[in-house]
C-alpha cells in the first residue's frame, strides 16, 4: 500500500502527541523577524493540515500542498469549521505550481526528508524559491543521520480507539536511507479489525548539505536551530529547524 493511503484516516488520532501549537509559535516568531508583513503562507507537505488550519485560525491566508489525496481529504475535513479555510492543492513538492507568490512557507515534521534523491530536493527548493516573495522566509525541520541511527531496529506503537499501528525503522547508514514499515490495524464499521501495511522511505541529509542546497537554490541568511528554540543546533541534534530567506528586492535608484 502507498504511504499514507490507509494511515491517513487515523493519522491525527495516532499523532495526537505532536505539539503543533509550539511549531506555529516558532513560525510566528520567525515571521516577526523579517521586514515584510506575512499574510499569505504556504504549508508544504501539509499532510492532514493540522498546522495549516492552526495558522489559518490565527489570521493567515493559507495554502496547503501535499502529494497524498488521502491526507488532503482529511485536511479538508479538518478545515471545514474555519471562517477562512485554506486552499489545498495536490502536488509534489518538486513540481510546486502556485497562482502567485507567498510571503512565507513552512514544512513541518520532516516532510523534506521524504525526498530521497538530492536532485528532487534541488527541484523542490528551486520551485519554492520561484514562488516565495522577495524577502520572504522559509521554515522547515529535518531529521538528522544521528536521529535515524538512534531509530534503527526500533519499534514504536501508536494507539487510538479504533486503530493500532506498529512503526518499525531500518536504517542504512551507507545510503543515508531509513525504511519505515507501518503495520496498521483498524476497526471497520462492522466491528471487524483489518490489517494494512505501508512502507515509508526517508533520507537524512547532514545540516551542511541542507545549507549547501539552500544556497544553490538562491536562499540567503540560513540559520539552524535546535528544538524550535532560538539556539544553535548541536552536531548530534536529532531534529534541526532551518530558517532561510529569499533575497530582498533591490531598491530602484
Q: Which residue has the higher pLDDT, 163 or 126?
A: 126
Please check whether residue 95 is in contact with residue 121, taking contact to mean a CB–CB distance below 8 angstroms: no
User: Residue 251 above 70 pLDDT?
Assistant: no
Average pLDDT score over residue span 67-74: 94
Confidence band for 1, pLDDT divided at 50, 70 and 90: very low
Share of the chain above pLDDT 70, in %: 92
Confidence band for 157, pLDDT divided at 50, 70 and 90: confident
Q: Identify the pLDDT of residue 4.
A: 62
Q: Which residue has the higher pLDDT, 11 or 176?
A: 176
Q: Among 2-6, 48-52, 154-158, 212-216, whose mean pLDDT is lowest?
A: 2-6
Give the global pTM: 0.92
The values of phi and psi at residue 77, to 5°, are -65, -40
Confidence band for 3, pLDDT divided at 50, 70 and 90: low
Q: Identify the pLDDT of residue 228.
A: 53
Q: Identify the pLDDT of residue 226.
A: 82
Q: Among 30-44, 90-104, 189-203, whose mean pLDDT is lowest?
A: 189-203
Can you say whether the dihedral through the CA atoms of 244, 246, 247, 252 is positive or negative? negative
Average pLDDT score over residue span 7-27: 86
Q: Identify the pLDDT of residue 161.
A: 82
Average pLDDT score over residue span 216-244: 79
User: Residue 235 above 80 pLDDT?
Assistant: no
Please check whether residue 35 is in contact with residue 249, taking contact to mean a CB–CB distance below 8 angstroms: no
User: Residue 253 above 50 pLDDT?
Assistant: no
User: Residue 233 above 60 pLDDT?
Assistant: no
Q: Identify the pLDDT of residue 64.
A: 98
Domains and CATH numbers, the chain: 8-144+204-245 (3.40.50.150), 147-202 (2.20.25.110)
User: Residue 184 above 70 pLDDT?
Assistant: yes
Amino acid at each position: 500500500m502507498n504511504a499514507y493511503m490507509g494511515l491517513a484516516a487515523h493519522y491525527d488520532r495516532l499523532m495526537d502527541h505532536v505539539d503543533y501549537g509550539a511549531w506555529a509559535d516558532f513560525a510566528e516568531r520567525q515571521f516577526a523577524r523579517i521586514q515584510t508583513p506575512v499574510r499569505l503562507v504556504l504549508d508544504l507537505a501539509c499532510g492532514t493540515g493540522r498546522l495549516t488550519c492552526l495558522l489559518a485560525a490565527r489570521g493567515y491566508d493559507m495554502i496547503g500542498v501535499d502529494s497524498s489525496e488521502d491526507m488532503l481529504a482529511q485536511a479538508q475535513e479538518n478545515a471545514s469549521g474555519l471562517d477562512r479555510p485554506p486552499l489545498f492543492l495536490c502536488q509534489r513538492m518538486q513540481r510546486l505550481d502556485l497562482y502567485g507568490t507567498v510571503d512565507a512557507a513552512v514544512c513541518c515534521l520532516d516532510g523534506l526528508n521524504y525526498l530521497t534523491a538530492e536532485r528532487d530536493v534541488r527541484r523542490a527548493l528551486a520551485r519554492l524559491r520561484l514562488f516565495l516573495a522577495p524577502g520572504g522566509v522559509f521554515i522547515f525541520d529535518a531529521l538528522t543521520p544521528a536521529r535515524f541511527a538512534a531509530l534503527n531496529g526500533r519499534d514504536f506503537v501508536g494507539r487510538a480507539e479504533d486503530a493500532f499501528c506498529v512503526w518499525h525503522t531500518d536504517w542504512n547508514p551507507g545510503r543515508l536511507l531509513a525504511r519505515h514499515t507501518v503495520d496498521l490495524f483498524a476497526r471497520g464499521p462492522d466491528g471487524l479489525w483489518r490489517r494494512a501495511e505501508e512502507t515509508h522511505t526517508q533520507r537524512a541529509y547532514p545540516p551542511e548539505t541542507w545549507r549547501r542546497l539552500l544556497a544553490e537554490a538562491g536562499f540567503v541568511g540560513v540559520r539552524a536551530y535546535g528544538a524550535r528554540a532560538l539556539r544553535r543546533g548541536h552536531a548530534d541534534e536529532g531534529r534541526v529547524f532551518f530558517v532561510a530567506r529569499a533575497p530582498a528586492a533591490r531598491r530602484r535608484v
